[in-house]
Structure 1
Amino acid sequence: MADFDNENFTLRLLTETLFYDTEYGIVGVLSLVDPEERREQYLASYSPEDDAFLIEEATDWEDNIESNEEEEVAYALAVDSVDHGTYDLPEEAAIELLTLAAQKGLLPSFTPYYEDMS
């Protein structure tokens, strides 16, 4: 049996989070969070409109994130961003996400986003 490959495992997991389910209108959104600043730094997802995988860099965040037990998210969500990169394949986006996380000490957070199907 081959040795376990942490990087390959991580890349496959990241790739799997960047999904789009056409039947239910669900998009997997992966955020890279700065644990010291307690805010999203990058967001990645599939864009059906662009038929591409996008990574955006956060430029502005929600105000007032007080840490308490009732809080749903323990970090500030991005409210504005700029394009960081566009990728044809989820594997390409996953490689960039892993590179950003390693270079900047960021942690992943996953959120399923339900599109308005009406």
Structure 2
Amino acid sequence: MKILKNKTTGFYIGLVAAVLAIISSLIFTITNSSDRTFSIITVIFMVLGALAQVFNIFFDYKFSPIIPAILYSVGVSMHFNVGLETLSDVWNGVNYIGGNANAVIIYGILFMIVTIAAIVTSFMEQRKTLD
């Protein structure tokens, strides 16, 4: 745990976002993998974003905090792209496409929280500076 000693709040917010991304992706895959609104690309990009955050533990590059934010953004965009037709059916009161609109909304909110947290941490310091 010596490696985590010099990290700041920004880093830990990103780490919590990574854990939430992994847990959300896992539950999304387990509960929704046979539904029309499921996309493996969403899961892949959310997990890649979490792995990029883990990369930040070991390497101190100035650009590295933005990488998880970019990957999460692609994942959440794909999620809403796939789920948009289902939400459109609910909005219009028809059932042409089908799909689980509740899953689109719930996981979309979770993935957006992860993405926003990653974007915020991109503008925060990741390591404590020696004074």
- The TM-score normalised by the length of structure 2 is 0.28
Q: Which one has more relative contact order, counting CA pairs under 8 Å at least 6 apart?
A: 2
> Which is greater in Rg?
2
Tell me the TM-score normalized by structure 1. 0.30
If each structure's strand is expressed as a fraction of its own residues, which one has the higher value? Answer: 1
